[in-house]
Amino acid sequence: MSQQFDVVVIGGGPGGYVAAIRAAQLGFSAACVDAFKNPEGKPSLGGTCLNVGCIPSKALLQSSENFHAVQHDFAKHGISVSGAKMDVGQMLSRKTDIINKNAAGIGFLFKKNKVANIHGLAAFKGRQGEKWVIEVTDGGKVVDTLEAVHVIVATGSSPRALPGLATDNQLVLDNEGALALTAVPKRLGVIGAGVIGLEMGSVWKRLGAEVTILEAAPTFLAAADQQIAKEAFKTLTKDTGLDIKLGVKIGEVKAGKKSVSVSYELNGEAVKAEFDKLIVSIGRVPNTQGLGAETVGLALDERGFVAVDDHCHTNLPNVWAIGDVVRGPMLAHKASEEGVAVAERIAGQKPHVDFGVIPWVIYTSPEIAWVGKTEEQLKAEGVEYKKGTSGFGANGRALGLGQAQGTVKILADAKTDRILGLHMIGPMVSELVSEGVVSMEFKAASEDLARIVHAHPSLSEVIHEAALAADKRALHG
């Protein structure tokens, strides 16, 4: 006999589990079906983000930055350390502990909010009256049948493979393999200079690997404001030591027994490089295989994403889709907010997610973060703007931290002074960018930020100074 629910969410990542919890809070009977299993073969909620993405990568970044600080920065503080060693096994164990703690936390939240936690692969099987029929399988066997008035598809995304090259996570790695290396490779190759490539490249470079990043695009971080991107490129190559090659045309990639050879063309010259490990990070593709989309006529767009309108509604009645499996940025926080919004729409509310005010963060050292329009976008759109910039070099808090690198840039409408973008590279800018998000959501002007009292000494003073500079009245610049 089928289990009956008001709302069934397919996928337990940041979009799915949040959607299920919010639906339950709104009084609906809700279930979340998730198929992920950890390396021990046990179900683990949280999706790619928690298990093999955002969270574990931050854990490894912090470990590698600590090791680097012991070797290069502590002496400035009068702290002498000799014979420092990195235990990669312990580093990975700490990462796993963080994952397990957070995954268990989601399970606790499901119990607290009375969300049915169902493990397995969910697929549409048809429609009976006003309800959708969903079959759940595990290991190829049917373990459950569900009926739901509303279905929220939150199946996420998977790494895009390099054509003709198998990912074995031994020599050729995706994000999962890059997070599970048991030893520091001497020569690490990375194809793709996006978020995953830069973050994983930074981790293993700080631990002692020679890291070469091959990027097809001629522009570094094309989605970011180019003033910030150019500073980031200089810092990551000069200080971090990443060898980043732009405008690369990848040729034959061949995995041997103990290494991977990559043939590529750069500036018209043929090059062949040999790596002990190769990370492929060339983007992600939506997870729709096995969903049963064709069975019920769920429409996909030309790129394979579930087609939705501005409210995340699909072409089918009471079927919604959120997160990486639909259009828009592949960001965990975007997925979560869409999940909340869909649950509230089912309840008859009218929530809104503004894609123009979603923050982006790259957790390198220093961090890179932005929200809103870049200077390049404003120029292309013919928008008259003004800008203010300030650096961390003279900031007392940054100097005390020993992290006085970076810049903050504010872009505002030349006529109305409304903030159009905030772009930054520097210490803890992943936290500072929220000041820009809040300001833009409340339609603030750069003068508003300039007249708000910022604590001293604090990193946020650099935002304050940039806002002052937008009105040509900087006090420290």
Distance CA 172, CA 185 (A): 12
Annotated binding-site residue? 465? no
Residue among 398, 413, 415, 410 at smallest CA distance from 452 = 410
| Cβ proximity of 146 and 117 under 8 Å | no
Amino acid at 129: G
How many residues appear in the chain?
477
- Does 197 show up as a binding residue in the annotation? yes
CA distance 212 to 224: 21
Phi-psi category of residue 79: left, alpha or beta, with phi > 0 → left and psi -120 to 50 → alpha? beta
At 102, list the tokens: 């957070």
Both structure tokens of 7: 């709302």
156 is in an annotated binding site: yes
Tokens (6 digits) for 352: 């809104």
How far out from the chain centre does Cα 311 lie?
Answer: 22
- Give the active site residue among 119, 352, 456, 476: 456
| Pairing status of strand 367-372 against strand 210-214 | unpaired
Find out whether 192 is annotated in a ligand binding site: yes
- Known binder of ligand: residue 423? no
347 belongs to an annotated ligand binding site: no
Q: How far is CA 326 from the centre of its chain?
A: 15
199 assigned binding-site residue: yes
Judge whether 196 is annotated as a binding position: yes
Consult the annotation and say whether 324 binds a ligand: yes
Determine if residue 194 is labeled as part of a ligand binding site: yes
Is 333 a known ligand-binding residue? yes
Closest to 135 measured CA to CA, from 150, 152, 148: 148
Question: Is 389 known as a binding-site position?
Answer: no
Residue 120 annotated in ligand binding: no
State yes or no: is 456 an active-site residue: yes
- Residue positions in the annotated binding site? 58, 155-157, 192-199, 215, 283, 324, 330-333
- Residue positions in the annotated binding site for NAD(+)? 192-199, 215, 283
- Residue positions in the annotated binding site for FAD? 58, 155-157, 324, 330-333
Residues with active-site annotation: 456
